[in-house]
């Protein structure tokens, strides 16, 4: 097996697979982003893959993360894979590394794992770190912060976790999760003692030439049992004033973030509150874009936009402070980002949600979930939204 391994799966027949050891960067704490930018510049003629932890916020702002960290992901990990293969339906292209018999053997093995749907059961026993009573109290407390004008919106998350867990078949586990979620920003990553099984429907940020694109999600509804019920749920979500308000507030935040690095008057809302249907839920998604100067670096983009507004709130800084005060786990890679950088400087990064994260060393498995709290939030309904989003994964993996 050629580690590290990262797979970015669009669930439309296309994807990109990276594997094999190469130059790597791993760091936590102050100065991480500056060192990461140096690493990117040193390897700028290569494909670079990796992830960004939510806790990079502390390198961008004067913040801290003091909640208990069971998963212990580094703040950033990137590497230059030995091999990168672009997949499109039945076709594949080696864009980095050689098409050796050994590399082809691994590629064929990976594709077979994807097509073989005879999944194992994963009988994980998840516990809820936050009781329902505690969750409801915290939502009321956060609504009070909104009432006082300290924030307008905050993404409040809770963690479900399983101890002494063993993922014996990580590829199988990922493809089973992917079968449950079938999301456009799905990803698998295995490095050293850490595994990410990600079923994300959300893009954080993409660069195409001098264009940046961000697609925050805010607004969720369940899937119906019939086409008629599904259509009614879509209509209700589209016209729900609370869900639209959530989305519009984050659109404004993203517009503001992008404006810090955008060419003058280039920030555009390409789509506001579009409804998109996924395997388990309907989501409200907006698309915001801008133009940047050619010399704009990834570090400049991250300092302006990370962590993503959909996972923090508005205003972002105060929301992140309140997240730290009111959540009872360190987010780490959850609500961070997995992605890659191309040799031409283009990049694409997702939002790590709807995911299982695993530490092989301490056998700790985590599945966090959250929702946006606004002045119009009903604590019971926010709780139900969290359970709706997380149950499909927790129960589905065990079926």
Q: What is the C-alpha separation between 326 and 328, in angstroms, rounded?
A: 7
Q: Under DSSP, is residue 123 helix (H, G, I), strand (E, B) or coil?
A: coil
* Main-chain dihedrals φ then ψ at residue 378, nearest 5 degrees: -95, 115
The pair of structure tokens assigned to 106 is 């691994």
Annotated active-site residue in 57, 176, 218, 330: 218
The H-or-E segment that residue 89 falls in is none
Beta bridge partners of 291: 211
- Residue carrying the six token digits 């959300």: 202
Q: What is the C-alpha separation between 178 and 182, in angstroms, rounded?
A: 5
Residue among 351, 331, 327, 349 at smallest CA distance from 340: 349
The pair of structure tokens assigned to 130 is 């936050």
The H-or-E segment that residue 136 falls in is helix 132-147
Q: What is the C-alpha separation between 272 and 145, in angstroms, rounded?
A: 27
CA angle 270, 306, 95 (to 5 degrees): 75
Beta bridge partners of 25: 78
- DSSP-derived letter for residue 224 is P
The pair of structure tokens assigned to 231 is 């259509």
The CA-atom distances, in angstroms, between 97 and each of 44, 49, 338, 345 are 15, 14, 21, 19
- Annotation says 202 is catalytic: yes
Annotated active-site residue in 202, 246, 382, 385: 202
Burial of 166 (0-12, 13-18, 19+ CB in 10 A): exposed
Task: Say if residue 15 is preceded by a cis peptide, omega within 30 of 0.
Answer: no
- Residue carrying the six token digits 């954080």: 204
Q: Under DSSP, is residue 40 helix (H, G, I), strand (E, B) or coil?
A: helix
Euclidean distance between the first and the last CA atom of the chain, given in angstroms as a whole number: 28
Q: What is the C-alpha separation between 310 and 306, in angstroms, rounded?
A: 10
Catalytically active residues, by annotation: 202, 218
């Amino acid at each position: 097996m050629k580690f590290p391994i990262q797979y970015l799966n669009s669930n439309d027949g296309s994807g990109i697979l990276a594997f094999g050891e190469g130059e790597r960067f791993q760091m936590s704490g102050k100065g991480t982003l500056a060192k990461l930018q140096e690493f990117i510049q040193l390897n700028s003629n290569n494909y670079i893959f990796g992830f960004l932890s939510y806790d990079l916020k502390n390198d961008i702002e004067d913040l801290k993360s003091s909640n208990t960290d069971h998963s212990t992901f580094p703040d950033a990990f990137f590497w230059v894979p030995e091999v990168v293969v672009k997949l499109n339906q039945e076709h594949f292209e080696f864009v980095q590394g050689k098409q050796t018999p050994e590399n082809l053997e691994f590629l064929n093995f990976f594709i077979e794992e994807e097509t073989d749907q005879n999944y194992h059961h994963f009988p994980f026993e998840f516990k809820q770190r936050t009781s329902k009573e505690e969750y409801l109290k915290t939502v009321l407390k956060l609504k009070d912060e909104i009432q006082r004008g300290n924030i307008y919106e905050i993404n409040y998350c809770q963690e479900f976790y399983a101890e002494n867990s063993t993922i014996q078949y990580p590829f199988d586990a990922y493809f089973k999760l992917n079968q449950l979620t079938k999301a456009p920003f799905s990803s698998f990553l295995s490095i050293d003692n850490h595994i990410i099984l990600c079923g994300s429907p959300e893009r954080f940020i993409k660069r195409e030439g001098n264009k940046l694109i961000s697609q925050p999600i805010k607004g969720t509804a369940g899937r119906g049992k019939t086409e008629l019920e599904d259509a009614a749920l879509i209509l209700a979500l589209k016209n729900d004033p609370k869900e639209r308000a959530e989305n519009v507030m984050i659109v404004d935040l993203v517009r503001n973030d992008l404006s810090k690095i955008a060419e003058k008057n280039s920030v555009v809302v390409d789509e506001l509150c579009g409804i998109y249907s996924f395997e388990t839920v309907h989501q409200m998604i907006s698309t915001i874009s801008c133009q940047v100067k050619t010399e704009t670096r990834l570090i400049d983009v991250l300092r302006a936009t990370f962590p993503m507004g959909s996972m923090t709130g508005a205003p972002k800084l105060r929301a992140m402070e309140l997240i730290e005060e009111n959540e009872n786990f360190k987010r780490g890679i959850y609500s961070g980002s997995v992605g890659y950088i191309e040799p031409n400087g283009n990049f694409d990064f997702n939002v790590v949600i709807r995911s299982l994260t695993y530490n092989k060393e301490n056998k700790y498995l985590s599945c966090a979930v959250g929702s946006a709290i606004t002045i119009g939030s009903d604590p019971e309904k926010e709780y139900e939204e969290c359970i709706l989003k997380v149950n499909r994964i927790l129960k589905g993996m065990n079926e």
